[in-house]
Amino acid sequence: MFSFHETKNFISGQGGALLINDNKYINKAKIILDKGTDRSFYLNKKKYYSWKGFGSEYRTPELSAALLLSQFKDYKSIQKKREKIWKFYYNKLSKFSPNKFDILNYKNKLKICSYHSFVIIFKTIKKRNYFIKFMKTRGIYCYFHYFPLHMSDFGKKFTKEKLLNTEKAWNGLVRLPIYPDLKIFDLKNITKSIEIFAKFL
């Protein structure tokens, strides 16, 4: 499954995609997609269609799909811009890791970086929250990350385990702004603000 939410590399607002590599699931997916009906099976072949199961209207609207298609046609350029921004952050901020905060290293031959997020991880939730407030006063909006699944009400139905590394990372994790049109002036302002904050840690 792919998300094209506004926070992703390629966006359509609230769109998404489901890829299926097993024929036995294709018809079921079509029924769910088409409000629970078999309409797509008989398009232009049958006068009536009927309801076969659960479903809703999950199609991406045409305008959103057009926005997404234009990005797919230019995906190499978009990814190149994101890579440039990501590496700018890395080169400017790696000197603070691990003493002030942690950053992730992309220089690993066993991994391919999507350049989706650039995160810094503080030692405590208090420092993280203070950082977010500090950056906001300078007109820079940074966000913490998603609530860990295993700590959610739904996740607790499956496990009672404590995932200490996950919880530690989540408590300190902040996502820095990253999008293709982020200008070098803004990047310099963001990293300069982080350098100022780091002096107080």
pLDDT tens digits for range 110-139: 678 899 999 999 999 999 999 999 999 999
Q: Which residue has the tokens 């989706």?
A: 116
pLDDT in tens, 135-160: 999 999 999 888 888 989 988 999 88
Strand residues in the chain grouped as ranges (E): 2-5, 14-17, 102-103, 118-121, 143-144, 173-176
Q: Which domains does the chain have, with CATH numbers?
A: 2-72 (no CATH), 75-198 (3.90.1150.10)
Rounded CA-CA distance 76/80 in Å is 6
Q: Is 0.95 surpassed by the pTM of this model? A: no
